[in-house]
């Protein structure tokens, strides 16, 4: 069970008591990310996330920020996405006040020191280099680029070396003023908490959150009339690929159909593509299919790291499995396995106070409604084999196909993109 409280300034508080837990989490989630940026300041959401660890009015140095929670063994971090940025502290339940002090201080009182801005540029540029030098990581960004191109949905969350090099302290302060406000913020408290006390603590620690209207994100433009491919040359011993289709956003009525469809294809070790590519062909170590859904975009994509010489065979195998889902209804046994897998993973993933906080806060922020795990299970159980077949026929079409490749083979594979 959870409780939602809205303060007079518009700040939303979500409390999720978990009495059996020995931990408590304070998560602050802000409704802004890379989709809210302009090209000139691409990466500023992520840059700001870094800067909140660089000093506050109370914790003067980065070491002071970290040491406050290190001394109690707290787990703390931040993350930036396309539509949100989050800051959290997870602590032993008796240290909840310390978590409140820390999260509220970095969120409301960060001073963004100029010298730290200049230093952090180098850190972020090395982060960009790290991802670009790791094909298994970078293929995800290339997938976004082939789908959305030169618009916020297609940009790297971290920005580019050029934009990171040019973002100023003034840019960052203006961005905070524009996007970080009460109505755009959720504070979620999960774990071994007293609900009413937690709400009162939130009022105490976050009463200075500004009241201001934030900037809306740019609408995503999706135009695709034929298959698309994007190739990034890298002299590697294997090719990393992303092959998939556009699908539906997270509020679409068939969202859970897409989730199950992805699991059947490549979501588990006994899935169709894992069996075909890894177990039968023996040409890849990792094979994974995801349903990726945001508020305004969606895609089903298979990621594979494959033997360079077997790339064409793997592309054909993936497309063959996609097509099979449009021709024959999934049997009840396979569908039940996918449902049980999805529900089991959700239960395991929601054991910790941190994951519970993220689960409830992101729903409230992105969908403006919260489904309990029981609500979601009910929707999963209602999916039929006919639903899988219907959705597969709708999304697995030649004009929806997209391919991203990282590797040494410069051969063009556009001609293979047909079902």
| 160-184 residue pLDDT tens | 999 999 999 999 999 999 999 999 9
- Residues 175, 50, single domain; the answer is yes
Order of all β-strands in the sheet with 298-307: 228-233, 401-407, 238-246, 298-307, 284-293
With respect to residue 262, please indicate whether it lies within any of the assigned structural domains: yes
- Residues 9, 100, single domain; the answer is yes
- Residue 104 is predicted with a pLDDT of 97
Q: How far apart are CA 46 and CA 166, in angstroms?
A: 14
- Residues 172, 280, single domain; the answer is no
Any idea which residues carry the catalytic annotation? 49
DSSP state, 159? -
The residue-averaged pLDDT of 342-368 equals 96
pLDDT tier at 413, thresholds 50, 70, 90? confident
- Residues 289, 398, single domain; the answer is yes
With respect to residue 19, please indicate whether it lies within any of the assigned structural domains: yes
Is the per-residue pLDDT at 109 higher than 90?
Answer: yes
Is the per-residue pLDDT at 138 higher than 90?
Answer: yes
Q: How far apart are CA 312 and CA 415, in angstroms?
A: 11
The residue-averaged pLDDT of 269-294 equals 97
Q: How many domains does the chain have?
A: 2
Beta carbons within 8 Å of 251's beta carbon, 6+ residues apart:
295, 367
- Residues 26, 168, single domain; the answer is yes
Over the chain, what is the mean pLDDT?
A: 96
Asked if 75 and 5 count as a contact pair (C-beta separation under 8 A), the reply is no
- Residues 241, 196, single domain; the answer is no
CATH of the domain at 79: 3.30.830.10
Beta carbons within 8 Å of 371's beta carbon, 6+ residues apart:
363, 379
User: Tens of pLDDT along 226-243?
Assistant: 999 999 999 999 999 999
- Residues 164, 275, single domain; the answer is no
Is the per-residue pLDDT at 410 higher than 90?
Answer: no
- Could you say which of 172, 205, 238 is where a domain stops? 205
Residue 164 token pair: 């990171």
Asked if 72 and 95 count as a contact pair (C-beta separation under 8 A), the reply is yes
- Residue 208's SS3 state is coil
- Residues 262, 193, single domain; the answer is no
With respect to residue 79, please indicate whether it lies within any of the assigned structural domains: yes
- Residues 276, 376, single domain; the answer is yes
Domain with 370, as residue range(s), is 228-416
With respect to residue 168, please indicate whether it lies within any of the assigned structural domains: yes
The residue-averaged pLDDT of 23-36 equals 97
Taking the model in full, what pTM does it have?
0.94
With respect to residue 210, please indicate whether it lies within any of the assigned structural domains: no
Q: Closest Cα to residue 180, out of 159, 206, 144, 153?
A: 206
- Residue 290 is predicted with a pLDDT of 97
- Could you say which of 170, 205, 240 is where a domain stops? 205
- Residues 185, 263, single domain; the answer is no
User: Tens of pLDDT along 57-72?
Assistant: 999 999 999 999 999 9
- Residue 414 is predicted with a pLDDT of 85
With respect to residue 219, please indicate whether it lies within any of the assigned structural domains: no
The number of C-alpha atoms within 13 Å of 206 and in the hemisphere containing its C-beta is 34
Q: How far apart are CA 351 and CA 355, in angstroms?
A: 7
Q: How far apart are CA 125 and CA 162, in angstroms?
A: 9
The residue-averaged pLDDT of 256-271 equals 98
- Residue 27 is predicted with a pLDDT of 98
Is the per-residue pLDDT at 154 higher than 90?
Answer: yes
With respect to residue 112, please indicate whether it lies within any of the assigned structural domains: yes
- Residues 103, 238, single domain; the answer is no
With respect to residue 342, please indicate whether it lies within any of the assigned structural domains: yes
The residue-averaged pLDDT of 98-121 equals 96
- Residues 12, 73, single domain; the answer is yes
Is the per-residue pLDDT at 22 higher than 90?
Answer: yes
């Amino acid at each position: 069970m959870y409780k939602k409280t809205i303060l007079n300034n518009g700040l939303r508080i979500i409390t999720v008591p978990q009495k059996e837990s020995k931990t408590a989490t304070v998560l602050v989630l802000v409704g802004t990310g890379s989709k809210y940026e302009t090209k000139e300041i691409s990466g500023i959401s992520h840059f700001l996330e870094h800067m909140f660890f660089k000093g506050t009015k109370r914790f003067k140095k980065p070491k002071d920020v970290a040491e406050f929670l290190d001394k109690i063994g707290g787990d703390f971090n931040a993350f930036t996405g396309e539509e949100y940025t989050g800051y959290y502290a997870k602590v032993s339940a008796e240290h909840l006040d310390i978590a409140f002090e820390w999260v509220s201080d970095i969120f409301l009182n960060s001073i963004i020191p100029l010298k730290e801005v200049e230093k952090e540029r180098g850190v972020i540029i090395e982060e960009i280099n790290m991802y670009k030098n790791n094909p298994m990581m970078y293929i995800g960004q290339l997938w976004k680029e082939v789908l959305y191109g030169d618009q916020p949905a297609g940009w790297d969350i971290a920005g580019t070396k050029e934009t990171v090099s040019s973002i100023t302290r003034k840019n960052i302060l203006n961005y905070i003023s524009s996007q970080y406000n009460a109505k755009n913020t959720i504070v979620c408290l999960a774990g071994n908490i007293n609900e009413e006390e937690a709400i009162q603590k939130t009022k105490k620690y976050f009463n200075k959150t500004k009241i201001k209207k934030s900037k809306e994100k740019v609408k995503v433009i999706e135009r695709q009339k034929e298959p698309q491919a994007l190739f990034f040359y890298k002299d590697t011993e294997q090719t990393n690929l992303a092959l998939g289709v556009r699908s539906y956003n997270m509020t679409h009525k068939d969202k859970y159909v897409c989730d199950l469809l992805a699991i059947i294809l490549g979501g588990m070790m006994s899935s169709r593509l894992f069996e075909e590519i890894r177990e039968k062909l023996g040409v890849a170590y990792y094979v994974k299919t995801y349903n990726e859904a945001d508020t305004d975009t969606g895609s089903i994509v298979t990621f594979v790291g494959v033997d360079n010489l077997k790339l064409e065979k793997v592309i054909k195998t993936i497309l063959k499995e996609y097509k099979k889902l449009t021709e024959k209804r999934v049997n009840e046994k396979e569908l039940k396995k996918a449902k049980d897998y999805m529900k089991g993973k959700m239960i395991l993933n929601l054991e910790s106070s941190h994951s519970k906080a993220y689960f409830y806060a992101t729903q409230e922020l992105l969908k403006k409604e919260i489904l309990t795990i029981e609500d979601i299970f009910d929707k999963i159980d209602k999916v039929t084999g006919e639903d899988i077949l219907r959705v597969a026929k709708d999304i697995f079409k030649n004009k929806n196909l997209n391919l991203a490749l990282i590797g040494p083979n410069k051969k063009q594979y556009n001609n293979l993109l047909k079902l």
